[in-house]
Amino acid sequence: MSIIRFLVFTDLHYDHVFDAEERLDSLIDRINDLSLDFVISLGDLCYPISDNRPIIRKLQLSAL
């Protein structure tokens, strides 16, 4: 029997909270500590603007 392991998160609110970078780093650390098959973001990560591309890139790199 095979078990699928995944993490679901929501409401990082990167653009609205003072500790957004710390939250993002903590999330990435947790993702990297677990043996996950995939990660799901349910939304409210950040505004879809070009200034936030590094945030998306950081999450993409943590998945490698």
- Domain boundaries of the chain, sorted by first residue: 6-62
pTM over 0.85: no
Q: Check if the beta carbon of residue 11 is closer than 8 Å to that of residue 44.
A: yes
Residue 53 CB-half CA count within 13 A: 2
Looking at every residue in the chain, the average pLDDT score rounds to 90
Is the pLDDT reported for residue 6 higher than 80?
A: yes
Cα(15)–Cα(63) distance, integer angstroms:
22
- pLDDT number for residue 52: 93
- pLDDT number for residue 20: 92
